[in-house]
Structure 1
Amino acid sequence: MRLKVRTLAGILAALLLLGWFGYRELPSFLYHQGYYQALLQWFPGHDYARPAINRLAMDITHETGMGESGYIFIQSSGGASSGGSGNTKLDREERAAIINKLEELLAQYGHTEQMSSVAYNLALMHFWMGNWDRSESLLQEVERLGGEGWISREEQAAYLAILESRHKQEGVPSLEGVVRIGDKPVPNAFVMVQRADDSTYYSPPLTHYPATITDENGRYRFYDIDPGEYDVAVGMPMEKISGYYMTESESKTALIDGKSAAVQNMQFVPQVIAVSPGRNELIQGDELTLQWKPYEGAAYYKLNLSYMYRDRDGKYRGATTIGLTDERYTGDQAAFSIRELNRNYNMNGKSYSQSEGVVLNTAGLLGMLFPGGEFAWSVDAYDEHDRKLSSSAGYFLLEDAVTPIFRTAEEGLSEGDRLVIAARYEEAVEAYKREGDNDHALRVLARLADQGIGQGDGDPAEALAYMERIQEPGGSDAEFIESLRERIQRKKQV
C-alpha cells in the first residue's frame, strides 16, 4: 500500500510534535516519578531542577531537623525553653553521616544558585553540631549566590552574625561574663540577651535576639548593645546540664549603661536530690511524705507539685506546676494529708484543639492529688538571703523527667471522676448529677460549670448554685464562692 507524500509528511510532523511534547513534559514526569538524578543529569537548567535537588536533600535528612531541638535555653530570670521541634534521637555520629551525604550532594552539583537552599540547610546542620568555621563559610557562600525566595535572608543574617561574633572585636564590651557548670567553664555555649520588659518570646529563640558563643574559657562578650535592663540566657545541648541547675545570681538581670561593661556570670550547680517518693512509685493511703537530701548552704526549702497530663494517645502533653504550700521547711522531709490537699483546686486550666476538643485541667476539677493521677514533685533550696541556690526540678519533665513522677492509687474514683479523666465532660456532668448532694460531686459540677465544657465561657451563676448546696464547705470553698459572687456582680454592672 502506497502512502502519499503529503500523508507521510503529516505522520512525521505528528511524530515530531508528539516527541517534542514528550520531551517538554519529560522533566515533569521524571520529577513526579522520583527520578531526580536523571532529571538533574539531562535537564540541569530546568525549573524542576531546584525542587529535585531539594527532594534529594530531603531524602537524605528525612525528619532529622537541623539539631536545634537538642538544645535548651535557660534565662537568668528563671525561664527555660527548648530549641524547637525535630528528631532529637540521632546521636552525633548519625548526624555527621547525614552531613557527609549533603556535602557529597553539594560537591556533585556545585555551588550554584540552585544549590543555595541545600547549602543553607547544610550550614545550619553544621551550626548546631558546633562546626562553626564550615557553617560560617557556607553561609557566606549562600549570601554570595543569592537564591531569594528559598531561604530567609533575615534568619541567615542572624546565624552569620552569631558566628562572626566569635572573632575578636575592638572596644569596650557592653556585657560580658563566664558560663560555668560546676567549677568548669563551658566553651561553645550560646548566650543571648533579651530586654527585660519584652513580653514576647520566640521558640526557638536564638535568631530573634542578639546572641554570641562562649570561647574556650567559657567567656562571652556583647558589643554595641543599647543601654537598658536585659535577661541573659544560655543555650546548650540538654545532656550537658543533666543533673545541674542554674543558681540565682545576685541580680537576675543585667543592667547595661553604655559606659562600662556590665558583668553577668552564669553558674550551673548540682541539683538538689529528691529521695522519696521515687519515679513510678504508687502512693496508697492518705499520707504523702516527701523526702530530700540536705543541700550545702541551704537555710530552708520550698516544695512544688506538678500535675502531669497525657493526650488521648497516652503521650505526655505537659505539666502544670504550683507551690505545694507557702511554708519554709528547714529539715529534709515533709508529710501531707492527700485528703486535705485534694481540697485545693489551684490548677485550673482550659485548652482547645481541633483534634482533641476541649481539655480541662483534671487536677483543677478533682483536687491537687486526685486518685489515679500522675504527679511530679520538686524541692527548691534557698539561702538565708532568700536566694534560690538550686532545685531538684532541673529542666526536664515528660519522658525525660529527672524530677520523680509518682502515682496515686485509684481507690475512691467515682464514675464521674473517671469520665473527667477521660475528658468526657458531658457524660461526667450527668454522672455527678445522679450522685445527688454529694459534696465532691457538687464541687466538680461547680468547676465544670464555671470553666465551661465547650469552647465558650462558663456560667458562674450555675457554678454558685452548686457550691451553695455543699453541706460541709471548707476554706477554699468559701474563697471560690466569694469569687463567683464577685464575678456575677461585675457581670450585672456591665
Structure 2
Amino acid sequence: MIRIKVKTLAIGSVAIILLLIAAYSLLPSLLMRMEKYDILLANFPGSKEAPEALYWAAETTVPNPEEEGRIFIFHESVSYSNGSQNSREQLNDAQGLLERLIDGYPDYRHIDMARSKLAQIYLANGELDQAEPLFREIETTAKDEYRRNEAKTFADLLASRRSADNGVPSLTGSVRIGDSPAADTYVVLRRKSDNGWYSKPYGHYPMAMTDRNGEYRFYDISPDEYEVGVGVTAAEVDGYFLTDQDGAAVTISAASTASYDIRFVPKVNIVSPTNKEEMRGSDADKIRFAWEPYPGASGYKLSITALERDKDGKVRGTFTVTTDELWREPNAEYDVRTLRTYPRGTGKSGTKDEVWLSTSGILGTVYPGGDFIWSVDAYDKDGKRISSSSGYYLSFNSQVPFFSVDDAFQLEGDKLVLQGDYEGAIKAYEGEPNNPYALRALALLWMNGFTSFEDRGDKAKALTYLLKIPNPVKFDYELMQLIYEELGNKAEADKIREKLEGLGE
C-alpha cells in the first residue's frame, strides 16, 4: 500500500493547477497562431489577442471588398475587374467583426486599415449612408496620405448623389436598365482622345453616382469630348445591352450644361445554334443562324468568335470576325467555305523566342475542329446599333450561343497550327500543293512570320503561294494587293485593286 503525505499531495495539486492556469493563459496565443479566430473570440473575448483575431477574421472572410467584380461599360469597350463579388453573408460577417474591433479597440495598431476596409464593405453592401461619413472621417484622420486621398475619392463619389448647393452642372443625365432607373450606379467620364484605361478608375477619371431616380450630375469638368461609361455588377445588366442610339460620346463646354442619357435595353434573344451544337465542316455544308426579331430593328449583322486554345487545350484568348452582310430577317445562312475564306486579320503575340498566331487568322473565321461563339447585333433604319445578343454576362444555360465544327475535313497542317507547331504545319501543308486551304495557310504563315514575335515574315514567299491558289477568292486578292504594296510593286497592286473593284469591293 502506497502512502502519500497530505503536504506532498497539496503541493502536487497546486503545481497541477498552476500548470493548467499557465496552459490556459497560453491558449489564446496558440489559437491565434493556428488561425482559429472564431474559437479564440468565442472563448477569450477579453484577451490581448482579441483585436488581432477580429481584424484577421474579417480579412480572411473578405480579403478585398473593393474588388467587387464591377464591370465598366462604354459603347466601344468593356473593362472587367479582377475581383469577384463577395456573398452578402460574407460581407455581413466581416462587417460585424470590424465594427466590434473599431468600437472596442479604437487604438488598435491597424485601426486606419480596419476603418478603410469597413467603409469599403459598407459600399459593397449598399449601405451608402454609413459608408460616406466613414470615408470622410478617414479622409481627415488617417495617418497615411494615400489612404486619405482614397477616402476622399469615395466620399466625393457618394456625395455626388446629391445636387451641389452652388454651381451649374457641366453634365447631367440618367441611367436606366430596362424600364427602371438605375440607382447608386457609377458613371465615369473618359476623354475621347485618351488611349488605354485604368482597370481601377477611382481617382483617375471624373466619376459620379446616380441618385435614387437614376439621375447623375458632374460639376467643373474641363471642356472636351468625353465617352460616358457606367460601372455596374454583372448581375445588374444580365440580359441587357448598352444601346448606341444615343451616340457614343458627349461634348462638354463651359457655356452650358450638356445632357447625356445612358440606356440598357433587352438583349437580342438567340435561337440557334446553341449548346456546342456540332456542324459538319465540308465546304458545301451550311451553318444556319437564327434569333428572335428585335423591336425597331431594320437589319442584323453577325459576329463569330473563335476560342483560341493553347497547346494543352485551355482557352487562352478569343478572335472575333464581324461579317459585312446586313440581314433583313432574323436568320442568316453561310456555307462553310465562305466563312473559311472570309476576309480577316491575323493576331500575333509572344516573346523574342516564341510566337503564337491567332488560329482563326490562319485557318479561317470558322475551321474544322474549332469551337465558336456567335452573336448578332440589331440596327435601326439609320444604321445605329440598338441592341445585341452579346451582352456582358454569360450564364451557361440552354441558350449559350456556342457551336463547334467537326474535324472530318481537317488537314494535317491544321492540327499542327492548333498545337502551335508552325514549322511542322509548313511541312504538312507543303505536302498538299493543290489544296487551296493549304496554300492559303502557307501564305499567311510566311506573310506574318512564325519563328518568333520579332519575325516579320517573307512577303515574297507568301505571294508565291497565293498565286498558286486555283480560283482565288476576294480575301486572296486582298492579301496579294497588300503584299504587292509592301514590296513596292505599284503596277501589280493597281491591277489587283481593279480586279477587286470588279468583284464588287
Q: What is the TM-score of this pair, normalised by structure 2?
A: 0.79
SS at match of 1:377: strand
Q: Which runs of 5+ in 2 are unaligned?
A: 1-28, 41-45, 490-505
Contact 1:72 1:81 in 2 (8 A): yes
Q: Which moved more, 1:154-163 or 1:182-191?
A: 154-163
Contact 2:270 2:399 in 1 (8 A): no
Distance 1:56 1:455 in 2: 47
Q: Which digits, 9 at most, give the CA deviation of each residue in 1:88-122, with x for residues without a partner?
A: 4x432233223333333444542556321232233
What is the aligned partner in structure 1 of residue 223 from structure 2? 227
What is the aligned partner in structure 2 of residue 26 from structure 1? none
Distance 2:463 2:394 in 1: 36
Q: Does 1:376 align with 2:345?
A: no
Q: 5 Å matches for 1:378-417?
A: 378-396=375-393, 404-417=401-414
Distance 1:393 1:61 in 2: 31
Q: Which digits, 9 at most, give the CA deviation of each residue in 1:20-64, with x for residues without a partner?
A: xxxxxxxxx99x9678999x97799xxxx99x99766543435xx
Contact 1:117 1:147 in 2 (8 A): no
Q: Does 1:477 align with 2:472?
A: no
Distance 2:106 2:309 in 1: 48
Contact 1:113 1:146 in 2 (8 A): no
Q: 5 Å matches for 1:283-298?
A: 283-284=279-280, 286-298=285-297
Q: Does 1:266 align with 2:269?
A: no
What is the aligned partner in structure 2 of residue 12 from structure 1? none
Residue from 337, 355, 361 that aligns with 1:364: 361
Distance 1:127 1:43 in 2: 28
Q: Does 1:147 align with 2:143?
A: yes
Q: Which moved more, 1:289-298 or 1:101-110?
A: 101-110
Q: Does 1:349 align with 2:358?
A: no
Letter in 1 for 2:65: M
Letter in 2 for 1:338: V
Distance 1:392 1:223 in 2: 35
Distance 1:242 1:307 in 2: 23
Distance 2:65 2:288 in 1: 44
Contact 1:347 1:361 in 2 (8 A): no
Deviation of 1:323 (Å): 1.6
Q: 5 Å matches for 1:2-401?
A: 58-62=59-63, 65-66=64-65, 68-75=67-74, 77-82=75-80, 84-88=81-85, 90-110=86-106, 114-148=110-144, 151-170=146-165, 171-284=167-280, 286-311=285-310, 314-324=313-323, 326-352=324-350, 358-396=355-393
Contact 2:55 2:101 in 1 (8 A): no
Contact 2:348 2:356 in 1 (8 A): yes
Q: Does 1:426 align with 2:423?
A: yes
Distance 1:398 1:361 in 2: 26
What is the aligned partner in structure 2 of residue 15 from structure 1? none
Distance 1:160 1:74 in 2: 22
Q: What is the TM-score of this pair, normalised by structure 1?
A: 0.81
Deviation of 1:309 (Å): 2.4
Letter in 2 for 1:390: S
Q: Cα distance 1:465–1:101, how it changes in 2: closer, same or farther (>3 A)?
A: farther
Deviation of 1:265 (Å): 1.0
SS at match of 1:331: coil
Q: Which digits, 9 at most, give the CA deviation of each residue in 1:437-486, with x for residues without a partner?
A: 53322221222222222121332233223333334432211211221222
Q: Cα distance 1:122–1:425, how it changes in 2: closer, same or farther (>3 A)?
A: farther
Q: Cα distance 1:263–1:406, how it changes in 2: closer, same or farther (>3 A)?
A: same
Letter in 2 for 1:320: F
Deviation of 1:204 (Å): 2.9
Q: Percent identity, please.
A: 36
SS at match of 1:138: helix
Deviation of 1:253 (Å): 1.6
Deviation of 1:369 (Å): 0.7
Equivalent residues, number: 448
Contact 1:394 1:403 in 2 (8 A): no
Contact 1:393 1:403 in 2 (8 A): no
Deviation of 1:134 (Å): 2.6
What is the aligned partner in structure 2 of residue 9 from structure 1? none
Contact 1:310 1:316 in 2 (8 A): yes
Q: Cα distance 1:263–1:472, how it changes in 2: closer, same or farther (>3 A)?
A: same
Q: Which digits, 9 at most, give the CA deviation of each residue in 1:6-27, with x for residues without a partner?
A: xxxxxxxxxxxxxxxxxxxxxx
Q: Cα distance 1:109–1:477, how it changes in 2: closer, same or farther (>3 A)?
A: same
Root-mean-square deviation (CA, aligned residues, Å) is 3.3
Q: Which moved more, 1:454-463 or 1:140-149?
A: 140-149
Letter in 2 for 1:138: L
Distance 1:113 1:144 in 2: 18
Q: Cα distance 1:136–1:312, how it changes in 2: closer, same or farther (>3 A)?
A: farther
Distance 2:144 2:78 in 1: 34
Q: 5 Å matches for 1:453-472?
A: 453=450, 454-459=452-457, 460-472=459-471
Contact 2:176 2:214 in 1 (8 A): yes
Letter in 2 for 1:335: E
Q: Cα distance 1:78–1:402, how it changes in 2: closer, same or farther (>3 A)?
A: farther
Q: Which runs of 5+ in 1 are unaligned?
A: 1-28
Contact 2:54 2:97 in 1 (8 A): no
Contact 2:140 2:148 in 1 (8 A): no
Deviation of 1:395 (Å): 1.9
Deviation of 1:191 (Å): 0.9
Q: Which digits, 9 at most, give the CA deviation of each residue in 1:257-287, with x for residues without a partner?
A: 2233211111111111111112321112510
Q: Cα distance 1:203–1:35, how it changes in 2: closer, same or farther (>3 A)?
A: closer
Contact 2:157 2:207 in 1 (8 A): yes
Q: Which digits, 9 at most, give the CA deviation of each residue in 1:143-194, with x for residues without a partner?
A: 3333327x55543332222122223312321111111122211111111112
